[in-house]
Every structure is written in structure tokens, then in C-alpha cells.
Structure 1
Amino acid sequence: MNKFKYYFILSITTLSLFSCSKSDDSVELTPPREYADQYPTDINDIEQYLKTYYVSVSADLDATITKIPDGGTQKSIWDQTEYELKFRTVNLHGIDYKVYYLVLNEGVGESPTNTDAVLTAYKGEYLQQVTGTDATTTLTSTAFEEVKFPQSFFNLYQLTISGGVKAWPEIFPQFKTGTYSANADGSVSYQDFGAGVMFIPSGLAYYSQGQGVIPSYAPLVFSFKLYEIQRLDSDADGIPNYLEDLNNDGYMYDFRSTINYPVTPAVNADDTDGDGIPNYLDIDDDGDGFGTKIEITGADGVVIPFSSIPSCDGNTTDAARIKKYFDKNCH
């Protein structure tokens, strides 16, 4: 009985100690910074980088970016004229982000849309202001990943809805694929592909979460080569996404996220029935109560490939089934 009383008292005491410890050691969580507050810092760091680093490009379009040494005569990325430095304005989180990108080669093939998949070789670095012992800060660039021989495609659409790098779907459509040939050893050689470098504010990258060795709120730099694209059908309606890009600008957006789009545009150019769901995600694009896949399925039960749908001359024996696409594409 005494032994039981001893262990009972001991357990109560231990429980009390752990309870106190948990209370004393509680961590106060810091909320993420406001996107609008962080963006000016990011764009200042990116522009400082562009003005203090230079780029060297190999015959195979491998880009190497190096800090200009004190007294160096190299032309910065900002000042050089051999490769065009452009930017794309990306509206997200209620902010007009400026995404700079360097065009090393445009490419000669097809461009992906922002909802396709890409086969790309790439190298990534993150930017960070490091404070020295003398309290001065220095902008540094640190490599974190490189893929020279890609084996799988990146789904650009998934990047738009996940915590991934949302600038990729914005910049890749500005480039084109090239050509390729098979080698005797089974490898593939790529030529004339699109190649560039993109400079990304953290709000279009990993932001407050960071990723692996990448710290939070770090702007990213990616050099890349666009080898091939894979056309996707995100809503599995039988029509590839790129054919549901009604204004053919290479970009389709889903504005239903109030975090990404605090203010929804009055009109979505890629939403035929105006129900708020862009066609590439809408299984009934025209809102007539009949799914797209049903409307392009022939009498034999086989989906009619989009390329086989007759032209806009009305000469068809299956007009009822493709009425949707006459209505949408034949004005």
C-alpha cells in the first residue's frame, strides 16, 4: 500500500513538471509577412543582383552567373546587351510582381501554356543578404539544386495550385522547344531549344516556408533549358488545355482563390460560360448541362479527337455533338 502511494505521488509530481515545462517552453509563432511589405525588399535585391553580377554563356547555352569583382570591367546582367533582359508582370496576392528574365535563346519549336508540362534542365540559386561582423550586409548567391539530364516532366499547372515556384508557369510560355535526335548509345541530343534565366521574387517562390536549404523570403534565380513539352488535359474532357486557351495568349487562370486573387477580374477570357471555372478545368465549358466529353463522343462511343472536328463550314454529319465548338470557335 505504501509502495502504491509512493508511485502515485511520483507520477503526479512528474506530470506536473511536464505540464509546467510545456507551458514555460511554448513558442510564439510569428505570422508570415504581408506580401506587399516583402515584395519591395525582394525586387530591390533582385535588381542589385542584376547590376552587380555578370553572365557567361557556353556554346551549349549553359549560363554561369558571377559577382563582378572590385575594379572588374565585366558588364553586369543589367547593362549587357548580348542577351535581352525582359520582364513579365504577374498579378498575384493583389500585387503586380515584376519577374525579370534573360533570353539566351528563344527556341524554334512550340511554346507551352502555363498549364502544360515541361522537360527542362535547370540550375537554381537563392539570394540572401548576409550581415558581416562589421554590421554591413552583402548580397550573396547560393546554389541549391541542378538537374542536367532531366528524366521527367514538370507539371506547370500543379505549381500554380501548390506551394511551388509560381513564376515557372509565367516564364516558360515565353520560350519554345527545339529539336532533338537519338544517339547510338540511346541518349538524346537537343538543339535549338529555348534557354534563359529567370529572377523570382519570394512571393512567387517559397515565400515564408522556405524549402530544404532555401531560407524563407529568399528570391530565386533559375537558369533553364526547355527541351520538350507535354500537352495536358487537366479536366479530362478530351480537349487538351492548350486548345482551351480561347485568346491563344499561352496563359489560362483560375481566379477562384481569394488569397491569390483578392480582386477577381470582371471577365475571364478563357471561361466560355462565365461560371468562374476556366475551360481547362470545366467539364461543361458551355454550361448547357452536357459534359464536353459527351459532346465530342461519336456514335461509336469513341471520343472524337479535337483535330478531327470539322472546320467551321457547317459541313458535318455530327453537328449536334460538336455544337459546343462551333459556338465557341466559329463566330
Structure 2
Amino acid sequence: MIKFRHFLLVSILSILVYACGGDDNGSSIDNFDHAAQALKDNDSLVSFLKKHYYDVDLDSVKPLIVGKTPLFDDAKLMTEEITETINDIDIDYKLYYYVVRYGDPVPTPEPGKENPSVVDSVYVSYYGQRIVNTDSLSVSFDNNEYVWWTLSGVIKGWSYGFSHFKGGENVTDNGPITYDNGGKGVLFIPSGLAYGNTGSYPILSNEPLLFYIDLFDFVPETDIDQDGVASIFEDIDGDGKPWNDDTDGDGLANLFDTDDDGDGVLTKNEDANGNGNPRDDFNDPNNPTIPDYLNINIR
């Protein structure tokens, strides 16, 4: 994820980053015990959270001092339990995120669009640090202000983490783009939802990460491959992970595949009723529940 260099909303780089396996958590190393590392990571994060607190005045995480509430006991610290499959084995992770502000977009968004999905494009600022030996933080290894990323092409800790926050209100007036009341918080990410046992210089292998994040805006129902189907709706099996759905088995997940069923007709052209939505076209009487764009028998 780090140093992505202007990852635009619908960039071919999304596909390249994903296809090259930059986010595979070291799954190519067959003998590594990812489950054991996940437990170790959680122990490390819990230890760190018990030794630090959030300093409201300094707007940052600091070593615990007398009279302050450790992050682990702070009501603003939340947890998401996440299961990822590596080498056909389900690995359980815990992602911790501290909510400074959920975000308050105005006008009120449509129901279901308050938060970005795990594959939407987001407009953010961030500041990343390595968690070192559960006691301290490294200097920033990467930071950026007011940039767009797509959550399909970043570490999973980001994909899941940003989905808990909301955007803010665009109050730009004859000047730089400005947002008020955007989502703001801190992500505490186990290595298995970051760079795993391979690392990514200067991030060491099996190293948990901390990110200060601001979410200003996002593109609801981002369509990464511009095939007429929003990327979040390419989650065919409904497990909340569009990146593991590959209808035609060509090694390219549907959210990156412009011909999802591999029949030689682009998904966006399998829109028989012409309403711009390939998901509601069903023209195979033998398979009435399969939309045409996922049905190799319908072109």
C-alpha cells in the first residue's frame, strides 16, 4: 500500500497491484504458520494498547502515564474480527480502530451509503508508523495528505478499517478543497492484514502497523473496472470480500475483470434491457437466477 503514487479512482494499477500479489500476506511461503502469527500479533497489539493512551490535546497516541486511560480500556477503541483465507486455511485476525470522530457528511447520504465499502475509492490523509516491540513507534514510514486511493488495492487493514468511518462535508469556497467533520481515527493493524511475513521495506516481516487516518469523502459503489457493475456488487458469494470472486476462473477477480463470465462479451455489453445495470438481465430460461453477465451460455 505504502508509496502507491497517485492511485486514481479507476486505474489499471489497481489490477496490477492485486494481480502481483502485493497483498497476499506471504501466502506463497507454504510452511509459515499464519495462524500462530495472528495470535502473536494480537498479543503484541494488546500489549501496546495497554501501554499507551490517546492524548486528545496532542491528537496522538502516547506512552501511558498516571491518570490516563489506556487505549485498551478506552470506550472509543473498537474491534473487528476478520477471517482471511491463506493456502485454503481460514486465519482469524483482530483489527483495532480508535474512533476520534466517525464523520458527519452533509447533506445526509442515502441509506446504505454512509460508509465506504471495502472496495470503494476514498479521499484521505494518513500517517503510518511501525509498532516496535509493543513498546514504541517508529518514525513515519509513509504519510500523505488529500489523496484518492481505492480500497481494493491496499492492505486489508485499510480496506476493512476505513469502512467504519464516514466522510465529511465539502465546504470548499473559492479556494483549496476543504472538508469539515470527516471521519478521523487510528488503525492498529496486525501484520497479517498488512505485509505479513514478507514485509515491505522499511516495514519488517510480521510487524504490526499504526495509521492515523482522516476520511474526507468517498465514491459510493465505485466501479473499478468500469464494467457497469459496482465493485462491491461483484461479491458473488456474499462473504463481504469481492476480491475472492472469480466467475470464469481466469485468475482475475470479477471486480477487475471486464468480462466476468469469460464468454467473449464485455460485462457492460450484457445489458439486454439497456438500463445500464447488467445485474438485472436474466435471459436463460434454464438458469433464471443467473444474470447474463455471469452466464457463459448467454452472450
Q: TM-score range by the shorter chain?
A: 0.5 to 0.7
Q: Distance in 2 between matches of 1:325 and 1:182?
A: 48
207 and 250 in structure 1: CA distance in 2 versus 1, 3 angstrom threshold: closer
Is it true that 1:180 corresponds to 2:170 in the alignment? Answer: yes
Gaps of 5+ in 1: 1-29, 130-137, 160-164, 257-270, 313-317
Which residue is equivalent to 1:111?
Answer: 115
Indicate whether 1:226 and 2:225 are aligned. no
Rounded to whole Å, the distance in 1 between the matches of 2:37 and 2:127 is 25
**Per-residue deviation, residues 210-240 of structure 1 (Å, max 9, x unmatched):** 3333222211011211112235323432222
Structure 2 CA distance for aligned equivalents of residues 284 and 31 of structure 1: 32
Distance 1:180 1:88, change over 3 A: farther
Q: CA deviation at 1:118?
A: 1.5
The answer to whether the 8 Å contact 1:144/1:214 transfers is no
- Residue 79 of structure 2 corresponds to residue 86 of structure 1: yes
Q: Which residue of 2 aligns with 1:305?
A: 276
Give deviations 1:237-272, integer Å, cap 9, x for gaps. Answer: 22221344569886423167xxxxxxxxxxxxxx6x
Q: Over residues 12-52 of structure 1, what are the superposed CA-to-partner deviations in whole Å (9 max), with x where a residue is unaligned?
A: xxxxxxxxxxxxxxxxxx99843223222211110011111
1:295 aligns with 2:270: yes
Q: Does the 8 Å contact 1:114/1:170 carry over to 2?
A: yes
Q: Which residue of 1 aligns with 2:56?
A: 57
* Structure 2 CA distance for partners of 1:188 and 1:279, relative to 1, 3 Å: same
How many Å apart are 1:154 and its aligned residue? Answer: 1.5
- Separation of aligned partners in 2, 1:32 and 1:140: 30
After superposition, the Cα gap between the structure-2 partners of 1:32 and 1:166, relative to the gap in structure 1 and judged at 3 Å, is: farther
- Out of 118, 122, 125, the position equivalent to 1:121 is 125
How far does residue 177 in structure 1 lie from its aligned partner after superposition? 1.3
Pick aligned residue for 1:96 from 70, 92, 98: 92
Cα distance, 1:181–1:245 mapped onto 2, change above 3 Å? farther
Structure 1 or 2, whichever has the larger Rg, is 1
Greater helix share, structure number: 1
Structure 2 CA distance for partners of 1:213 and 1:279, relative to 1, 3 Å: closer
Query: Equivalences for 1:58-73 in 2 at 5 Å?
Result: 63-69=59-65, 72-73=66-67
> Counterparts of 1:223 and 1:283 in 2: how far apart (Å)?
35
Q: Residue by residue, what CA displacement relative to the aligned partner does 1:157-213 show, whole Å, maximum 9, x if unpaired?
A: 122xxxxx22111221222212112143x2122122222211111122123333333
The whole-number CA distance in structure 2 between the counterparts of 1:153 and 1:171 is 16
Number of residue pairs matched by the alignment: 249
- Secondary structure (helix, strand or coil) at the match of 2:48 reads helix
Question: In structure 1, what is the Cα distance between the partners aligned to 2:282 and 2:47?
Answer: 59
Q: Is the CA contact (8 Å cut-off) linking 2:197 and 2:206 kept in structure 1?
A: yes
Q: Does the CA-based 8 Å contact 2:188-2:208 persist in structure 1?
A: yes
Counterpart CA distance in 2 for 1:291 and 1:277 is: 14
Structure 2 length-normalised TM: 0.68
User: What root-mean-square deviation, in Å, do the aligned CA atoms of Structure 1 and Structure 2 show?
Assistant: 3.8
Residue 253 of structure 1 pairs with residue 257 of structure 2:
no
Q: Which residues of 2 match residues 25-40 of structure 1 at below 5 A?
A: 33-40=32-39
Partner of 2:152 in structure 1?
A: 157
Q: Which amino acid aligns with 2:195?
A: Y
Q: Using the TM superposition, name which of 229-238 and 173-182 deviates more.
A: 229-238
TM-score computed with the length of structure 1 as normaliser: 0.62
Matched residue, 2:12: none
**Which residue does 1:21 correspond to in 2?**
none
In structure 2, relative to structure 1, the CA distance for the partners of 1:213 and 1:245 (3 Å cut) is closer
